[in-house]
Chain A
Amino acid sequence: MGKITIDRGLARRQIPQLNEASVPGRRGWKLDGASADRAALQNAAAADRSLFADTAPALPELSELDVVRHFTQLSGLNHSVDNGFYPLGSCTMKFNPRINESVAALDEFTGLHPLTEAENCQGILALLHELEEKLCLLLGYSRFSLQPAAGAQGEYVGLIVIRAWHEDRGDHERREILIPDSAHGTNPASAAAAGFDVVVLPSDEDGCLRAETVRKAAGPRTAGLMLTNPNTLGLFEHEVQEIAAAVHEAGGLVYYDGANANAIIGRVRPGDMGFDVCHLNLHKTFSTPHGGGGPGAGPVGVRAGLEDFLPGPFVTRREDGSYAWEEPAKSAGPVHAWYGNSLVLLKALAYIRMLGGAGCREASGMAVLNANYVAHELAAYWQLAKPGPVMHEAVFSGKKLRDRTGLLTLDVAKRLIDYGIHPPTVYFPLIVPEALMVEPTETESLETLDHFIAVMRQIHDEMEENPDLLREAPQHAAISRPDETQAARRPVLTWLQQERGDS
């Protein structure tokens, strides 16, 4: 096979900041006929005028072309799913179908005020209800709250639902949440935010949690257990039913972290595995775009008996076929001013409608096939964290390579950038030394996977033959490696701090 040349997509480039491009007196967007407004301000009552500022905030002054060019140029400094492979483990960077964007951008949805009387927004209420029904079917739950705006808020909601359920039963001693050591960092952070103590459970040699471990840890102080399945090693927690039973026996509830649900959609349902509460990341499993860090959506599903504790309001279908808002009776309380990220919810519904149930099943099948293919083809080069088949992602350890070459997984990640590939997730899960976590997703073709595999093998060769290529990587990105220590020690967070020379 021929040598793969580096990708020159993101060449070294700096774009002046808006404040640096500002010219006093330059205008972009304007409002016609501002003189009448000024007269009104001058005639304002004294009580009003005493509150007015002398000048408007010193925002940059730019033409519309300045602004358009600025942000167009900035966009060129980003890697994205649309311009290259993005195998970022645990983040499910699948393709974001454009029809989803089109339907969510209809004026009839973007122009809709959240306090529109229910009789005047039956259309969107019907769609939200439809999404809830489909999520209930796919995940095996009785109801979903669509309100949480992201996965972490979903976790928080799921946990306060668990808390409210125990308290409603008069059980106030359950202060602990059990979490395996392979969990995402959000799990313990959410448990702490929801007022619980975190008890960390060790995974076994094979990377999975043992029911026996859970049985020993669970007791009268156990409020619940949080589990990701497949876990962050990409392995299916095969004792999940016994684990759930052990928590239930101790009087606790079992929480499903849906971050990795893309592996199981249309195959197995967390509700059937014994999970009482679950959250999903619609921006992962259901293809809504990540947007550089949101907006996402993190709906929370619960089994029968827990519905009343969810945040309100819900959309309910009445007997006459119309839709109405309904407040759950014992709600743990709302977490959003309105109903969550409604437009994101519409995109997820569009995706599910396009795929249908069978399509969802095919998607998880190809996601798992792709991950196993990458695991198989790279296993001779990078040590798999755990031997054997994986689910939707493959976790490798760069420890042996580090010990031999002195090069870190970080160096490998940065070298991938030179080849136009976004680095996989690195140094997570924490229990794998020099971890490299690859999640190809189902929307990537065999050709893309083969290219990635070839690049990884070539980097493997470079580690022996020309290690400086890795140490100095990336050479072909907008910047070379940034000084993160300086950024944290002497924070410069705004134009003003920069101008004052805080750096």
Chain B
Amino acid sequence: MSGYIPHTDDDVRVMLERLGLADVADLFAAIPSELEIGEETLEAVGRGSDEIQLLKHFRAAGARNRTAAEAASFLGAGCYDHHVPAAVDQLAGRSEFLTSYTPYQAEVSQGTLQAIFEFQSQIALITGMEIANASLYDGASALAEAMLLAAAETRRQTIAVSDNLHPRYRAVLGTYARVRGLRLCTLKSDPATRQLGASALTQLTADERRDLALVILQSPNFSGVVENGIRELAAACHEGRSLLAVSWDPVASGLYRLPGDEGADIVTGEGQGIGTRPSFGGPGLGFMAARQKLLRRLPGRIVGATTDRDGRRAYVLTIQAREQHIRREKATSNICTNQALIALRSTIHLALLGPEGLGEVAGRCYHLAHLAHERLIASGAFTAENQGPFFKEFRLRAHVDTAELNRRLLAAGIQGGLRLGRLLPESPDDYLVAVTERRTPDEIDRFARIAAELAGEEGA
């Protein structure tokens, strides 16, 4: 037998004898013979491999990627090159976490259940919210779930979205909104600061405001700018019985006031930056925190603390009356498998960093990003695209050919910023630069020097 099958020929013979069968094929008698798969198809799938060949194949493919492992990365846009402490990989790689299922049987799943309870607690703390769920797929679908939650809670159909929301998130919202017949409308930010501001709702018509279920903003937003006026915006939403959702970068919690403390009703986000490498975009981690009053509308798994028969503390999956395996078509969401192991990574990550470590990471990002901003503008290759306050990422207007710039940077071991035209065709000259705590002043200087050289050649 090939693969991972333990059966010897003798085992198979003994088992078939017990069953009174002659051949394994007899077990598949229910399948109409004309449907049986052809040998040539199986051959086309491949003939099997061993570990040595497999490693070679994947290593050869890996060698054709240029990555943050080898290049100093200034690429962000929702996926960041933050450091992951060594203990995260080693602990999350433990068999007992890796090879267990969703913790339906609480008595043999207390490890996963307690870890999720701690995850929910940490997410509530770093968003300033009351409750959190056990995770969702990614930052984009978490925001879509927030939209569906708000529409159900308010029984309204209009969703107002900041124009500085990540364009891929906006596209995912579009998918879910179309299916549900929800109306998405756009709130424009101040072009000078790229902030939405406290009075954004005045952009809506009276009709839109009457039907407004949710306002969605991202902070720091897609231009890297930290939103202000959230408190006033939340108050304006609540006055009209609408909700406010913020898509939040959890690393910003080490430095900035928390969206929950500012009055948001739902905080979602991408948790990749706290404990997981970029991983070509996945697996990442969607999280969702909310006000207590929204508990019974939350999507996905939720863990609660209770007691066992002996009165000892125990953790269980709870409020399951929301979920698909109980409620079927009346469930709040169809989600079941989520991103538990990635949530565990974030739990370990935040436990290691603590408040001081998270503050240090945020402080370093802020410091280096502002240094990079200054140097890149001084290079002559860029001007500032906006004057808004930014955290670890900023948007520039390029005066050089950024495709050529990124090629030169890569040759020098630097992965340049994002040429925004790739995601925002209307902004072909804009350039988004992310700077994490893994970067150094030296790398920033090299980046700026290469930009300056190009600017000199192009006469920018």
Contact = CB atoms under 8 A, between A and B. Distances in A.
Contacts of B98: 80, 82, 96, 101, 289, 291-292
B417 to A, nearest CB: 10
Given A292-B341, A346-B58, A75 B97 contact: yes
Given A78-B96, A491-B295, A107 B67 contact: yes
A376 B324 contact: no
Nearest to B219: A51
Contacts of B383: none
Contact of B337 (A27, A111, A296, A474): A296
A442 interface: yes
Given A56-B358, A355-B48, A116 B348 contact: no
- Which of B99, B139, B363 has the most A CB atoms < 10 Å from its CB? B99
A453 B103 CA distance: 24
A241 B331 CA distance: 31
Interface in B130-145: 130-132, 134-135, 137-141, 144
Interface stretch (A190-198, A249-257, A300-308, A455-463): A190-198
B280 A34 contact: no
A480 B308 contact: yes
Contacts of B64: 121-123, 126
B334 A478 contact: no
A349 B325 CA distance: 30
B73 interface: yes
A339 B62 contact: no
A372 B27 contact: yes
Interface stretch (B204-212, B296-304, B442-450, B451-459): B296-304
Given A155-B334, A484-B306, A356 B101 contact: no
B137 A149 contact: yes
Contacts of B22: none
Chain B, interface residues (CB within 8 Å), range = 35 or more
B31 A342 contact: no
A263 to B, nearest CB: 9
Interface in A356-390: 356-363, 365-366, 368-370, 372-373, 376-377, 389
B67 A358 contact: no
Given A110-B279, A114-B282, A335-B144, 11 more contacts: A41-B366, A188-B328, A267-B37, A336-B140, A337-B79, A356-B2, A483-B306, A488-B320, A492-B306, A496-B124, A496-B130
Contact of A149 (B18, B89, B282): B282
A150 B335 contact: yes
Nearest to B301: A293
Chain A, interface residues (CB within 8 Å), range = 35 or more
A131 to B, nearest CB: 11
Closest 4 CB pairs of A and B: A338-B281, A108-B62, A333-B175, A357-B42
Interface in A12-46: 12, 14-15, 17-19, 26-31, 34, 36-38, 40-41, 44-45
Contact of A194 (B85, B179, B314, B316): B179
A267 B313 CA distance: 48
A116 B70 CA distance: 13
Contacts, number: 705
A369 B27 contact: yes
Interface in A107-142: 107-117, 120-124, 126-127, 134, 137-138
A358 B97 contact: no
A355 B319 contact: no
29 contacts: A26-B354, A45-B389, A52-B257, A53-B257, A56-B255, A57-B253, A59-B125, A67-B352, A78-B110, A86-B100, A113-B79, A113-B278, A121-B66, A123-B65, A134-B45, A163-B179, A193-B148, A268-B37, A269-B37, A292-B102, A292-B341, A293-B101, A333-B172, A336-B282, A362-B1, A482-B306, A488-B318, A494-B130, A498-B305
A115 B37 contact: no
A48 B54 contact: no
A37 B363 contact: yes
A352 B175 CA distance: 32
Nearest to B62: A108
A338 B341 CA distance: 19
B62 A115 contact: no
A294 B345 CA distance: 12
Contact of B19 (A241, A269, A373, A417): A373
A414 B94 contact: no
A278 interface: no
A481 interface: yes
Contacts of B49: 353-354, 356
Contact of A111 (B3, B36, B278): B278
Contact of A238 (B14, B30, B81, B137): B30
